[in-house]
Amino acid sequence: MNIALVSVIVEDYDDAIAFYVKKLGFVLLEDTPISNTKRWVRVAPNAAAECSLLLAKATSADQATHIGNQTGGRVFLFLNTDDFWRDFRRFEANGIKFVRQPTEEIYGTVAVFTDLYGNLWDLIQPRNH
């Protein structure tokens, strides 16, 4: 077994796709209309990613209240890299907002950034790379 998808509640499909694809460099794996208002949109760091993000547009007022704060203010997603400084500089050049600057931790080099809605992400180069 493996985790295949993680849902990220978004305000707008196209804005979310633009952020993940143009700013983070993710690959748009799928964008399939389901109805006039709903789409099945998957993105991932690369086309062979074992786990991808399902960009799920909020469909209720309750869901909308969780956009950008899906984990109550904790880091939500963890993006591993094999070259921290390359990706850190590329993200900065693409306007990604880092809310915690790079640090060396026992587990690797890490910095925290936000997605377009404010969800917190760790960019990590684990020690074993």
pLDDT at 47: 86
Residue 79 contacts residue 122 (beta carbons within 8 Å): yes
- By three-state DSSP, how is residue 69 classified? coil
- Tens-digit pLDDT profile for residues 20-78: 999 999 999 999 999 999 999 999 999 888 899 999 999 999 999 999 999 999 999 99
Question: Which residue in 91, 76, 107, 69 sits closest to 23, CA to CA?
Answer: 91
